[in-house]
Structure 1
Amino acid sequence: MPITVCHSQNDSNESVYTYKSGSFDGIGKWYKGREISHVMGYQGMSWLERSEREQEEETSTLLENMNLEPTDVVADIGAGSGYHVFKIVPKVSEGKVYAVDIQQEMLNAMEKKKNRLNQTNIELIKGSEKSTKLPKNSVDKVLMVDVYHEFEFPVEMIASIKQALKPDGKIYLIEYRGEDPTVPIKRLHKMTEDQAVKEMNAAGFTLIENIDNLPWQHCMVFGVK
């Protein structure tokens, strides 16, 4: 039987999560009908940096979709090894990139590359499972690439992102298309547009557009309602 946890004094959002037996790739925790997947560990860093990633995901097209301005402040949540961070930095030369991750090993890898390239407009932040630790009202654009489905506490994390966004800020939610069985990614590491919209609407965001020009992924743009 599924177990829905009731409100508690320490965590007022716990009642939105359900715990039940799930799949091997899941954590046994569900949100709005979606099982949350395990986090990809730092041991998979080489996969993030694989040479064929541009061909498979068309990262350059994704960055074009973001319409980055030189003065933009961008936050990459779940930045991993910094694959996207170091591609964004040259495009926001008068702005800033916050690179947020919860794994110290990922932050260490980005720190080494940041120092090697002498990049001064990257700020590394060690987030938590419930917070990005970003400054309030500081960010123009938030990028989440194949990471949202791994948030153990999606309600708390999106609330944290909402606080960090400027009033006209946007979220770029990139997820492998759950509607497409030909996308060669495990089921729990995909999301459908309908599921993403359901969860983001609950957090106070509305879908502005889903830019359908990436080979395997949705590029969903959300703004505050």
Structure 2
Amino acid sequence: MTKRHLLLPLFAAVSFAFAQDASVKPGINDKFLDPNLKVGEWTQKFETESREIFHQREKIVAAVGLKPGMAMADIGAGTGLFTLPFSQAVGPKGHVYAVDIAKNFLSHIQARALQAHASNVTTVQCTPRSVELPEASIDLAFICDVYHHFEYPQASLASLHKALKPGGELVLIDFKRIPGVSSDFVMGHVRAGQEVFEAEVTAAGFEKIGEVKDVLKENYFVRFKRK
């Protein structure tokens, strides 16, 4: 690894620390804020075998390692792909907060949870700067193919740090962004690669504690602990 590559995460962390109010990806969530958002269309996009995280959803849930009684947050829950499996994993004494910026997605998740008799699921509408969760309310936060949608990552991570209990964990799954390897979609849609995102998370008060490498190919799967 070159000296330049070693300095990239540090540069990203410093830049991140000074990016107080500027959106890192203006407009990336506009389509989800549309009150006419059609959940059915997004369900077809999100819940299809051609999408790696859908195809490997059972392995992902298992690798997260939830235990009965835990409280966790499914950040950017979308159509609820992982919400109900998480609900089953934490059991009736646990709790799942399905957090999303799109009101229509949350209504859809509420309906799915009601149909499945998943009374341990609560939907939470977040803002571009906050996950809107109570302080020290969760043991684990799960962010899957969503972090690159954080317009204000510093503020959002600060709110997430506050929502986690001391020693709580954050699971980050996102697209590998490698020039010459990743698809044109990923290169254009995802603003930065794994090193930059990890640097932003650690700059927000988290410590990297591990990486799962045998489940996904197009995405990376990293674990952090709240300091």
Shared topology, TM-score over 0.5? Answer: yes
Question: Which runs of 5 or more structure 2 residues have no equivalent in the other structure?
Answer: 1-15
Q: Could you say which residue in structure 1 is the equivalent of 2:177? A: 178
Answer 1 or 2: which has greater helix percent: 2
**Offset of residue 165 of structure 1:** 0.3
Normalised by the size of structure 1, how large is the TM-score?
0.80
Give 5+ residue unaligned stretches, structure 1. Answer: 1-12, 20-28
Let me know the Cα RMSD of the aligned residues: 2.4
Q: How far apart are 1:192 and its partner, in Å?
A: 2.3
The alpha-carbon deviation at position 181 of structure 1 amounts to: 4.4
Query: In the superposition, relative to structure 1, how do residues 180 and 117 fare at CA in structure 2: closer, same or farther (>3 Å)?
Result: farther
Match of 1:186, SS?
Answer: helix
Q: Distance in 1 between matches of 2:26 and 2:211?
A: 22
Identity, % of aligned pairs?
Answer: 26
**Deviation per residue, 1:121-145 (Å, 9 max, x gap):** 0001111111111111011110001
Secondary structure of the 2:128 match is coil
1:10-49 aligned at under 5 Å gives the runs 16=19, 29-30=23-24, 38-39=28-29, 41=32, 42-43=37-38, 44-49=42-47
Q: Does the Cα contact within 8 Å between 1:79 and 1:99 map onto a contact in 2?
A: yes
- What is the match of residue 12 of structure 2? none
Alpha-carbon distance in structure 2 between the residues aligned to 1:144 and 1:219 = 10
Q: Is the 8 A contact 1:138 1:165 kept in 2?
A: yes
The 3-state SS of whatever aligns with 2:173 is: strand
Higher relative contact order (CA 8 A, sep 6+): 2
Q: C-alpha deviations, 1:35-80, integer Å up to 9, x for none? A: 5671363543321122444676512221122111011111011101
Asked if 2 retains the 8 angstrom alpha-carbon contact of 1:57 and 1:217, the reply is: no
1:208 counterpart = 2:215: no
2:71 and 2:54 map into 1 onto residues whose CA distance is 27
Structure 1 residues 99 and 18, CA gap change in structure 2 (3 angstroms)? closer
**Match for 2:199: what amino acid?**
K
User: Hey, which of these two has a bigger chunk of strand by percent?
Assistant: 1
